[in-house]
Structure 1
Amino acid sequence: MHPSVVQLVVISDFTCPWCYIGLRELQNAIKESAAELQLTIKVEHRPFLLHPSLSEDKVSDKHEWYLEKFGSEKLEEVKAAVTSRAKDVGIEVIFTGSMSQTIRAHRLSRKAYILGGQELQEKFLDVIFRSYFTEGKNIGDFNLLGDLAEEAGVMSKDKAIEFLTSDECQEEVESMAAEARRKGVTGVPFAIINGRWAVSGGQTAEVYGQIFRKLAGKGPLHVIPNAPSCSTGSTGGCPGTAAATVKS
């Protein structure tokens, strides 16, 4: 008997382009696989802080930050890899604009999940990723976050700003991010499936589809390929490549 419900916990951060790309790949895989395989696939997105020591009020120039971390030659390689994958899934990623701490955005994401589950949370994820990667905006800004919360249907702008000026969901987000680190997560995106298997990196829809077919008892599970990710290692959270594993 195969499970009729598959539960995924996806750990990510909003400054990681592979998390944006990975979100689209996972959404595409669910659209393509769920009905065919008679699976209900539930997803909960949880926070990760690639820059935990960064002040919530500090704003950096994104392009200068990448240049400092990579150097111009390596940055061009990263940009080529990211923009190519982004184009494949129908999104645009730019490397200019503002870079800031993401904890405020994670708090709103968590609140969206509390209020409306996966559907509302992913509506917010769509607008926050678009704002950061396609429009280059500062996703630590209260007014912008209020606009995005209202656009996604989470709450009105005024209520979002009131929420952000409180400490609601602050401890929960910090605790979830710390728990991920304690459990050995050093790079994102990182997906936990049915509490038993882990898949790291920005995998393709095809890879997720293969996993779903295996869980539905309708196909083998092949070796999961390496996939790009953002890590907390020496590159300070910039895009890189990490091994991907599926394990119990």
Structure 2
Amino acid sequence: MDSPPEQVIPAESEEGQGGRSCYIGYRRLTKAIRLYQKTYPGGSQDRIRISWKPYFLDRDAPMESVPYIERMTQRLGADKVPAAKARLERLGVQEGIHFKFEGRFGNSLRAHQVMLLSELVSREEENYGRGDRDIATAVAEGIFRAHFEDELDITDIETLVRIAVYTSEGYLEEAKVRTWLEQGQGMEEVDDMAARARREGVHGVPYFRISGGEDAEGGALTLSGAQDVDEFLKALIAHKTGKELESADQEAGQAMTSC
């Protein structure tokens, strides 16, 4: 099954919800993929690739970042911030994520530009037969971790350059990433892809589409929100077998109990 779970990732870290829930959703998806490949008959032979797509909750968010707590307070109100932080910390720990809140918030257009570049390089490496390492996913996780755990400013070009070069293990070259960002390359493509997602009915993130790829025949299975691991597993099994999601329940349950 060469079927990428296609994830539309957010451009904003909205009030402790949008971006952080996407990080949680991504971690749960990867757990489901590992479980599927470990426990489902024939699953170890299936190749599943995550394809990252941009999405903007607020395209007009400031390019210059502001303190994240300031943004959180503005959106939620000071009285609700402690409870929101505690909830996110609790959810994060369950997925091995240690959320922090002293970082900065801003427009993540540049982060999406880096993600687009990483997707292009990843596909190029595949086309030339130089391995199947998922460069884009490594970069995406690096951006998530840098922003939400290390409290780095992902609106900053030099910060993004360092993240991209390090997490891609040099597949993304420093000079190329810096030039890509400084010259605004990929901006139009990112905006077009985000607009397409809205036209296709995506109104929030995280949002996942499991299909045989953009050119594959047949419909895709979609999941909205940071679903539990068993829901992702059920969707992978349903796609594999051609069954409805409800019909994959029992098989997913068996896989969960056998791990």
Q: Please state which band the TM-score falls in when normalised by the shorter chain.
A: 0.7 to 0.9
Distance 1:72 1:215, change over 3 A: same
**Secondary structure at 2:202 match in 1:** coil
1:6 aligns with 2:3: yes
**Secondary structure at 2:134 match in 1:** helix
1:135 aligns with 2:150: yes
Q: What are the residue-to-residue correspondences of 1:36-55 with 2, within 5 Å?
A: 36-37=39-40, 38=43, 39-55=46-62
1:26 aligns with 2:43: no
Shift of 1:220: 6.9
Cα separation, 1, equivalents of 2:101 and 2:148: 7
Q: What are the residue-to-residue correspondences of 1:1-248 with 2, within 5 Å?
A: 4-13=1-10, 15=13, 16-37=19-40, 38=43, 39-56=46-63, 58-117=64-123, 119-153=134-168, 154-194=171-211, 195-217=219-241, 221-222=245-246
Please give the per-residue CA displacement for 1:109-150, whole angstroms capped at 9, x wherever unaligned.
111111114710011011111111001111010110111111
Work out whether residues 109 and 121 of structure 1, in 8 Å CA contact, stay in contact via their aligned partners in 2: yes
Work out whether residues 113 and 187 of structure 2, in 8 Å CA contact, stay in contact via their aligned partners in 1: yes
**Secondary structure at 1:10 match in 2:** strand
Cα separation, 2, equivalents of 1:218 and 1:174: 33
Cα separation, 2, equivalents of 1:70 and 1:197: 33
Distance 1:111 1:86, change over 3 A: same
Runs of 5+ consecutive residues of structure 2 not aligned to the other structure: 14-18, 124-132, 212-218, 248-259
Work out whether residues 60 and 100 of structure 1, in 8 Å CA contact, stay in contact via their aligned partners in 2: yes
The count of corresponding residues between Structure 1 and Structure 2 is: 220
Cα separation, 2, equivalents of 1:181 and 1:222: 27
Shift of 1:177: 0.8
More strand by share: 1
Runs of 5+ consecutive residues of structure 1 not aligned to the other structure: 224-248
Runs of 4+ in 1 over 4 A off after TM superposition: none
- The amino acid that maps onto 1:201 is G
TM-score by length of 2: 0.78
- Percent of residue pairs bearing the same amino acid type: 24
Distance 1:218 1:186, change over 3 A: closer
Match of residue 234 from structure 1: none
RMSD of aligned Cα (Å) = 2.2
**Secondary structure at 1:125 match in 2:** helix
Shift of 1:89: 0.9
Match of residue 236 from structure 1: none
Cα separation, 2, equivalents of 1:113 and 1:35: 26
Work out whether residues 11 and 45 of structure 1, in 8 Å CA contact, stay in contact via their aligned partners in 2: yes
- The amino acid that maps onto 1:6 is S
